[in-house]
């Protein structure tokens, strides 16, 4: 029995389980726990049934294709559910800069639909998965849970709004909500628009690696399964109404990541191409995870260099997975986006 009265028989609803982190969570959770799992995912460009291959044949797993903004689909998926782990979101910062509307719809309205349904279904725990980006740039020191929210992109602003909405359901209705805020994830099955899978796959294709601005932006990297293990700890024992930071304590500049990838793949430095910066680009994120470490006994276990080397190897030996994505509908979108970056002149504003 965990805080919030979860039991090992309870059915768990995972939203966004066909995405990168959601599918890692479903795999890790089902390997460790006996609970039945329902995955609810609308299969946007980022959702991929191949990510769930490991669990699709299991009788304890059910997949429901549906939109979190659709109350009837959510009601259907939430029947008999004891706890919700909410990953579903629009997640790419560059896309949010191009078009914020879908970010507001999915991340804010969709979270609201889920919270209302969770009240009706009397769920015992609602884990809202959020991001370190809600704190904004941290030029020195580390973000703590009590820190100010200062989101700088439409993506992070939509996540901050959804965090506050989720926490308001605890304060107002007593819904047992817990919010997690994690740093940058990497690992297998990450959509190849994000830095690490984009750069690995471009290097494998001998295509340029588009480094935004000076490349000295810092992110706090965490291996995806470490994040999933942290969410599992929060699901069972996290205190309702609380926020838990989850960080990898591996602050790295983008150019360090780029060089690591090129070296591992034996590709030349000439593939690096500095392009127009991302507008409103946050200079550095860095997380203080001491709360979850002290309270729930979690800490990141994976060695960063080993996990990144294994991740590079995964993309090298699973080329069918990302080549299918890169040669499909996504190709037109990305080529247009990339051409814009190349054509752009001086750097955008930096936070």
Q: Contact residues for ligand DAU (CB under 6 A)?
A: 91-93, 131-133, 183-184, 194-195, 198, 210-212, 217, 219, 254, 278, 285
Please, are residues 133 and 156 in contact by the beta-carbon 8 Å criterion?
yes
C-alpha to C-alpha distance for 12 and 34, rounded to whole angstroms? 11
**Helix ranges, 47-126 (H):** 71-78, 93-98, 101-103, 111-120
Strand (E) or helix (H) holding 184: strand 184-186
Interface residue with ligand NAD, options 4, 6, 14, 20 (CB under 6 A): 20
- Residue 275 in the binding site for ligand NAD (CB under 6 A): no
Contacted entry of ligand DAU, ligand NAD, none for residue 81, CB cut-off 5 to 8 Å set by kind? none
Strand (E) or helix (H) holding 201: helix 195-204
Contacted entry of ligand DAU, ligand NAD, none for residue 165, CB cut-off 5 to 8 Å set by kind? none
- Residue 28 in the binding site for ligand NAD (CB under 6 A): no
214 is catalytic: no
**Annotated catalytic residue within 133, 193, 225, 282:** 133
Q: How many CA atoms lie within 13 A of 331 on its CB side?
A: 8
C-alpha to C-alpha distance for 88 and 15, rounded to whole angstroms? 5
Measured from the CB atom, the residue of 113 and 350 that comes closer to ligand DAU is: 350
Q: Give how far Cα 93 sits from Cα of 31, 158, 171, Å.
A: 32, 11, 30
Judged by CB under 6 A, the stretch of 55-63, 183-191, 210-218, 343-351 that binds ligand NAD is: 183-191
C-alpha to C-alpha distance for 154 and 160, rounded to whole angstroms? 10
Measured from the CB atom, the residue of 49 and 347 that comes closer to ligand NAD is: 49
**Annotated catalytic residue within 132, 226, 232, 282:** 132
CA dihedral sign, ordered 156, 92, 285, 245: positive
Cross-strand pairs, 178: 127
Measured from the CB atom, the residue of 231 and 271 that comes closer to ligand NAD is: 231
Minimum distance of ligand NAD from residue 8's CB (angstroms): 25
Minimum distance of ligand DAU from residue 160's CB (angstroms): 11
Contacted entry of ligand DAU, ligand NAD, none for residue 291, CB cut-off 5 to 8 Å set by kind? none
Structure tokens at 175: 């819904």
133 is catalytic: yes
C-alpha to C-alpha distance for 171 and 65, rounded to whole angstroms? 31
C-alpha to C-alpha distance for 349 and 49, rounded to whole angstroms? 38
| R_g (Cα) of the chain, nearest Å | 19
155 is catalytic: yes
Measured from the CB atom, the residue of 131 and 289 that comes closer to ligand NAD is: 131
> DSSP letters along 234-279, please?
HHHHPPTT-EEEE----EEEHHHHHHHHHHHHT--GGGEEEEPPPT
C-alpha to C-alpha distance for 197 and 168, rounded to whole angstroms? 36
Minimum distance of ligand NAD from residue 44's CB (angstroms): 4
Site string for ligand NAD, 153-172 (x = CB under 6 A): ------x-------------
Site string for ligand NAD, 92-121 (x = CB under 6 A): --------------x---x-----------
Measured from the CB atom, the residue of 49 and 253 that comes closer to ligand DAU is: 253
Contacted entry of ligand DAU, ligand NAD, none for residue 195, CB cut-off 5 to 8 Å set by kind? ligand DAU
Interface residue with ligand NAD, options 13, 26, 37, 46 (CB under 6 A): 46
- Catalytic residues, which ones? 132-133, 155
Q: Which residues bind ligand NAD (CB under 6 A)?
A: 15-16, 18-22, 41-44, 46-47, 67-69, 87-91, 106, 110, 129, 131, 159, 182, 184-185, 191
């Amino acid at each position: 029995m965990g805080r919030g009265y979860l039991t090992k028989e309870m059915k768990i609803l995972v939203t966004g389980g066909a995405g990168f982190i959601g599918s890692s969570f479903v795999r890790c959770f089902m390997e460790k726990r006996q609970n039945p799992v329902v995955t609810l995912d609308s299969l946007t460009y980022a959702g991929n049934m191949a990510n769930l291959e490991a669990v699709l044949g299991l009788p304890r797993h059910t997949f429901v294709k549906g939109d979190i903004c659709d109350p009837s689909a959510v009601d259907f998926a939430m029947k008999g559910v004891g706890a919700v782990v909410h990953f579903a979101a629009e997640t790419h910062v560059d896309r949010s800069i191009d078009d914020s509307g879908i970010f507001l719809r999915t991340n804010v309205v969709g979270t609201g639909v889920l919270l209302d349904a969770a009240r009706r279904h009397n769920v015992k725990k609602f884990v809202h998965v959020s991001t370190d980006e809600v704190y904004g740039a941290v030029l020195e020191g580390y973000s703590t849970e009590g820190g100010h929210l200062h989101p700088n992109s439409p993506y992070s602003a939509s996540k901050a709004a959804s965090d506050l909405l989720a926490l308001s359901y605890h304060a107002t209705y007593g819904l047992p909500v817990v919010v997690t805020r994690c740093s940058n994830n990497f690992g297998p099955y990450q959509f190849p628009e994000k830095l690490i899978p984009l750069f690995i796959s471009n290097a494998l294709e001998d295509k340029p690696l588009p480094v935004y601005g000076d490349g000295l932006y810092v992110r706090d990297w965490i291996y995806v399964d470490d994040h999933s293990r942290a969410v599992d700890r929060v699901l069972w024992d996290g205190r309702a109404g609380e926020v838990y930071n989850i960080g990898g304590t591996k602050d790295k500049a983008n150019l360090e990541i780029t060089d690591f990838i090129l070296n591992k793949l034996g590709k030349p430095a000439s593939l690096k191409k500095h392009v127009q910066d991302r507008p409103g680009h946050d200079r550095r994120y860095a997380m203080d995870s001491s709360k979850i470490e002290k309270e729930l006994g979690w800490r990141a276990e994976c060695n960063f260099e080993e996990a990144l080397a294994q991740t590079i190897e995964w993309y090298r030996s699973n080329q069918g997975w990302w080549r299918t994505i890169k040669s499909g509908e996504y190709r037109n979108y990305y080529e247009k986006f990339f051409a814009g970056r190349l054509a752009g002149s001086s750097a955008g504003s930096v936070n």
